[in-house]
Amino acid sequence: MPSPEAAVQTPARAKAIPLVNLVALHARHAAEIAEVVDRVVKTGAFVNGPDCAAFEREFAAYQGVRGAVGCANGTDALQITLRALGLGPGDEVITVANSFVATAEAIALVGATPVFVDATEDTSLMDPLAFAAAITPRTRAVIPVHLYGQIAPMGEILAIAKAAGLLVIEDAAQAHGASLNGRKAGAFGVAACFSFYPGKNLGALGDGGMVISDDEALLTRVRSIANHGASADRYRNEILGTNSRLDTIQAGVLRIKLRELDSWNRIRRERALLYCEELRGCPGLSLPLEAKGSVSAWHLFVIRTDKRKELMSALAEEGIATGIHYPVPVHLQGAFAPKNGKPASAPVTERICDQILSLPLCPEVTEEDVVRIASVVRKVMEQR
Ligand SMILES: *Cc1c(COP(=O)(O)O)cnc(C)c1O
């Protein structure tokens, strides 16, 4: 019997662990995916084929809303929703500085002005007090982001938005299947926008996106804008639209993967809780926190530390990939820095961006992987 010490020296220990392992995940569904491609090729229904409507129905039902409209990607889902709601030049739309850049991009691309607010220390999500303080007479809407898979504090955000007469649009690109007090994304705002970028909890074999809502009139406008502003009569274009549709092949693949989503999210959750168990009490480390009533989709497992650089290189030496989501707060990005005047102040977000580190988390990460990764993290953090 080799001692545990000796086992540690075997080549198995050098196994590389990617942040997300999409190759292994799709390999298990190769036959079903090939069937989808074959079916679409044989029918020739590449755009707007039967899988598109079926996936919209199935995803809407999964999230617990009345309807959905597929589009080309998550950024378009946000942009088209804003346009369908009539938002544009002169309107301010509040969002968080701590997000992927696409949220602010969508606001700016419709000609509205993104106004950035800070996050709270514990969850890294929108700080409702900062949101309330940022409202001006020009504010028309707010886009909370369900970052890292956790629903933003929607109780507080909805109350503030209602009192100020603002539209609420959820950026749910990282939160397929997440819930807060039993309600999933789409149950809070006038609409929720999803991305099916390959690395998301539910990802296509390329780009994809979706708008979901209970408001059928809104969804009709979204569908029209996503399809050249066409009405029921294809060649009558009453409103200015664009071309942003979800491909039939992607919709077909997403239908297959949707059936696995709950079980994948369950594995993510188990691995996340195991990380927390293995890393509890580790000096100089903050672990991610789920708010009360919140069930995160655990899109990312994000820790915080001042020893990020050391930790990243120690993990890299062991073949363990890490990521930073995201290194530059959006209000400090060149594309969003005010031309004249000071950028918005978001000190918590700036601190978060300097300290965060994402550890490998996806349905392919095993318990053994988590234990091994956590032991490397512990070793670095316990060095004085
Ligand atoms: C991925 C993502 C988007 C954009 O989605 P794309 O499909 O890549 O355009 C928007 N917001 C957030 C928070 C995201 O993570």
Consecutive 10-residue runs of the chain (384 residues): their mean pLDDT?
48 78 94 97 96 98 98 98 98 97 97 97 97 98 98 98 98 98 97 98 98 98 95 81 97 98 98 98 96 98 97 97 96 86 87 97 97 97 88
Pocket test for ligand 1, best of 174, 210, 242 (most atoms within 8 A of CB): 174
What beta strand segments (E) does the chain contain? 67-71, 92-96, 113-117, 139-143, 167-171, 179-180, 183-184, 191-195, 209-213, 294-295, 301-304, 356-359
Give the distance (Å) from ligand 1 centre to CA of residue 326. 12
Q: How many distinct helices (H) and strands (E) make up the chain?
A: 14, 12
Pocket test for ligand 1, best of 95, 169, 195, 330 (most atoms within 8 A of CB): 195
| Closest to 352 in 3D by CA, of 301, 306, 295 | 306
376 φ, ψ to 5°?
-65, -45
pLDDT at site 345: 87
Which ligand 1 atom minimizes the distance to the CA of 145?
A: 13
Determine how many CB atoms are found less than 10 A away from the CB of residue 218: 18
Give the distance (Å) from ligand 1 centre to CA of residue 281. 33
Alpha carbon separation from 54 to 47, 252, 260, 376 (Å, rounded): 13, 9, 16, 45
64: left (phi over 0), alpha (psi -120 to 50) or beta: left
What beta strand segments (E) does 145-190 contain? 167-171, 179-180, 183-184
Which ligand 1 atom minimizes the distance to the CA of 209?
A: 7
pLDDT at site 331: 94
214 φ, ψ to 5°?
-95, -10
pLDDT at site 232: 75
Q: Is the dihedral of CA 256, 258, 259, 265 positive or negative?
A: positive
Indicate which residue's Cα is closest to atom 6 of ligand 1.
74
The reported pTM is 0.95
Judge contact between 112 and 106, C-beta under 8 A: no
CA 112 from chain centre, in angstroms, equals 22
Q: How far apart are CA 293 and CA 281, in angstroms?
A: 24
Which ligand 1 atom minimizes the distance to the CA of 200?
A: 1
Site residues for ligand 1, CB cut-off 6 Å = 73-75, 99-100, 102-103, 145, 171, 173-174, 195, 197, 207, 209
Give the distance (Å) from ligand 1 centre to CA of residue 45. 27
Q: 75: helix, coil or strand? A: helix
Which ligand 1 atom minimizes the distance to the CA of 106?
A: 10
Indicate which residue's Cα is closest to atom 10 of ligand 1.
102
Judge contact between 274 and 367, C-beta under 8 A: yes
